[in-house]
Structure 1
Amino acid sequence: MAAGRVLPFAISLFFVFLVVGFFSVVCSAKDDHPNKCAPSSCGIIPNISYPFRLNNDPDNCGDQRYNLSCENNRTVLYFYSGKYYVQAINYDNYTIRVVDANLREGDCSSMPRYSLAVYNFRSPYPYNFCQRTKKRIGKFDVLDCIELSKPVIFMSCETQVNSPLYVDTSPCTNLMSSLSGHVFVKIGHLNASDMRDLCRIDLTVATSWPGANDTNITYVDIHKELVYGFELSWLQGKSRDYSWRSTCYIDSDTGKAACGSNSMLHEADR
């Protein structure tokens, strides 16, 4: 090769290696980001790690959408103007369990302060009441949404109601200080046919207590369910680590989280 051509070739080759090296560093930094910071801890939550972070962690730690705070040695999640104590974070199934901060164990007169329903959780909100799960139906991979929590509905009625669907809260008389009339609780979704005359919905909350039993249950039992808290999925936030065209889900065959192109998946509820 002529001497006059060697220098331009060498310079071009140098820039190729420089660009490739730059992108290699960028990709590596992105992949290492979740492990860049040591886990934090607060109270009963010992391993607060990516995507979660405490609000006093360095800015490069975790994802700002999953910000938590540590108050009086309790891990706190604020969302929809509500305050919730974090009871557990499961990094295997991408769930977080929280409880309304106004509830007190063993005191059935304490009731949730913040109303929360399924319609509050709309994409692109980082939490969801249901967990996307992929299963195979025929030739297609179908996404289903498995409900993690069930609603608990507080209603006040002008007259007494005799219905197996309505649980009387009267043993916990202090409830009457915040709700007027006869106060009842309905567990599960409320159909129009379930609504009684002269009754109104005051509050909708949730529970994920695995030992729940909807038959022969008292309000004291329901209060224990509420104190247990409810689960939310944070799996959909994982999609952001890939692209807006991807959807993340739990594979029903492996039990592990995966992400795939929206064009290759079919929504079960479409």
Structure 2
Amino acid sequence: METSSPLLCSLFFFILTHAALCKPNCQPDSCGPTGLEIRFPFRLKDQPDWCGYPGFILSCKNQSQTVLSLPNAGDFVVNDIDYVNELIFINDPDFCLPKRILNFSLSGSPYLAPYPRTFTFLNCSSDYWIHYYMMYPTEPISCLSNNQNFTVVAIAANFMIDKCQNMSAVSVPIQDDYRYRTLVDLTEDLQLTWRGPNCGACEFKGGTCRFKGDGEQIGCFNLPNRGLPRGAKYAIIIGGGIPGLVFLIGLLCYTCGRIKAYNTRGSNLDPELSNPTINPQRALVMTGLDRATIELYPKTVLGESKRLPNPNDGTCPICLAEYQPKDTLRTIPECNHYFHATCIDEWLQMNATCPLCRSSADGSTGLTPCSSTILSSSPSSSSAS
């Protein structure tokens, strides 16, 4: 028994520690079915401590009103909470907020006034205020005034009214709408913000702001997944990838078939071209004359008159330039056509026919090169005067 007691104590301590570390998540609450939603950093009094931040405790009144208790200002009704912008809007449950403002203080609380405005409360005689109201229409603070004897109004701190008693100058956390007004009716909600925790960014993203574990650090949890679910991504990949792959394979097969058909058609056009041993003479079609053979063709140097021995065009059929004196021409004797020597020499190196009439050296029409018997005539050089 003595040895089991420490073991039981250790087990009990472990269970308590584990229970403390595994705190359940707090669900949003409210004061009645139509009340405001209360969630972190706020909590209701009957909720566990970890459901809210220290100092952010709210309570319920009459099962419908949400109440905020300020240490040095009393109880106020909460009309709205802006969790994203970290604002809380409060008012007096007895509908006389100006009376509460006269002694309003945020000391001892985690709240701040985002737009503090300084106002001066004035007590004016009712008779005088009727006269003044004709020039500057404004409503008196009814819950502080006695219409038969005196009227209380609130004005900006830098504006005074003669014949009125200065009651008090206070800083009011009122909304920014009254920045440029002189006379105001302080009945709208007071607007407060808070110092820590910073949950506005988490609320804006749609997450849940709360404590991390059992520590005091704040975390953002349950952020919505803004991307596509994994199943949807797989469906898009399968639905789009397989048809795309089939299309790519079909395109490759079609391209290969077209290339194969083109090669087959090209080989069937002239079978003799694929085998040069069948007709060796046809193989000479793609060759011209050598330089020595070309030099056997007659040359003529034009004189000043540019007259040729036989009638011919006055321009070179190859370069289409007009003949000039001193130009050197070369003649193909079989057809007696003249050309610039440089033009026809380049032509005959690639083609063994006349560029005009396509006649060969032996006078026949075709692509057979000139034989040595045709080119046996000696070159002649004459100058036309």
- Normalising by structure 2, report the TM-score: 0.37
Bigger CA radius of gyration: 2
**Structure with greater proportional strand content:** 1
**Greater relative contact order (CA < 8 Å, ≥ 6 in sequence):** 1
**Structure with greater proportional helix content:** 2
